[in-house]
Amino acid sequence: MTTPYLPVLSPLMVEEQVRAALGEDLGRAGDITSQATIAPDMTAAAELNIREDGVVAGLDLARAAFRLMDPAIRFETFVKDGDTLSPGTVIARVSGPARAVLSAERVALNFLMHLSGVASYTARFAREIAHTPARVCCTRKTIPGLRALEKYAVRMGGGSSHRYGLDDAILIKDNHIAVAGGVAGAIRAARAFAGHLVKVEVEVTSLAELEEALEAQPDVILLDNMGPELLRRAVEINRDNAGLADAVYAADPRRVKLEASGNVNLSTIRAIAETGVDYISTSKITMAAPTLDIGLDVVLR
């Protein structure tokens, strides 16, 4: 099996995000504390270290924060995004003009702590289902303005991504179905509208809606708020509809993919994955992830 390449962040997007964050923090007069207490010609060296177990993500943003504050700052990394680290690990060293180092510190750490938190929390979900073929996916429930960064962090933690926005895939939800007048009709309308590269997914809340959806053949069916028993039955119905034996069901490209959503947390995701669904989507890994404790400590020389 080919190992998938991990994504990289666009340097243009990184610079745009970091520049905006620095502008927000520096305000109208800049870092008046550093200006008041540190001479212009002073230099400083500092280490960034992990203070708890976790997965690091966001090193490019931290690097950009220091570089944009002052190109003379040197940022040296010892790990890479996606690495699982233990407390006390030094992830980077930064050195250069002291005022600039301290002025960029908070923006660099804010990005690192938040994205590493998302990656670390995602990794906990992924570990719970590692014995199954299911993948945990993030959704459009992200902090406004940070979607691309958070979805990147999810990938660093071993998760997968649902659609990025409203324009890259069709997801027919309950309100669309209510207005369109039915599951099958909504799927057929979506098929007629979409280009051949656009996936069509439909949300169902019952086995009856599942069977109606299967007749219209979407690419993916989202099973909303179904418990493990209903999910297991949905997998059986999907297998029987495709006319496949258990041994070939999981790998057969002809069948409709199934995604579970709703009531997904660290206590429930294992049982959900063991039902045989392909994907499990949850907003928890982006919206409820705690930050990872990362510090910057000046090294006296």
Is 106 annotated as catalytic? yes
**Among 224, 255, 259, 284, the one annotated catalytic:** 224
**Among 51, 74, 80, 173, the one annotated catalytic:** 173
Give the distance between the most distant pair of CA atoms in the chain: 76
Q: Which of 270, 292, 291 is nearest to 280 (CA)?
A: 270
Is 141 annotated as catalytic? yes
Is 67 annotated as catalytic? no
Is 151 annotated as catalytic? no
Strand locations in 22-115 (E): 43-50, 54-55, 74-77, 84-85, 90-97
Is 81 annotated as catalytic? no
**Among 60, 105, 203, 259, the one annotated catalytic:** 203
Which residues are 234's β-sheet partners? none
Residue 127 has which token pair? 């570990």
Residues in the chain: 301
**Among 93, 127, 141, 191, the one annotated catalytic:** 141
Q: Which of 100, 145, 71, 93 is nearest to 301 (CA)?
A: 93
Q: Which residues neighbour 49 within 8 Å (Cβ) at sequence distance 6 or greater?
A: 88, 89, 90, 91, 294, 295, 297
**Among 19, 93, 106, 270, the one annotated catalytic:** 106
Contact yes or no for 119/154 (Cβ under 8 A)? yes
Q: Which CA distances in Å does 55 have to 24, 30, 112, 118, 187?
A: 27, 32, 10, 9, 39
Residue 275 has which token pair? 């039902």
Which helix (DSSP H) or strand (DSSP E) does residue 138 occupy? Answer: strand 135-138
Which sign, positive or negative, has the C-alpha torsion 121, 125, 127, 133?
negative
3-state secondary structure 191-214: HHHCCCCCCEEEEECCHHHHHHHH
Active-site annotation, residues: 106, 141, 173, 203, 224
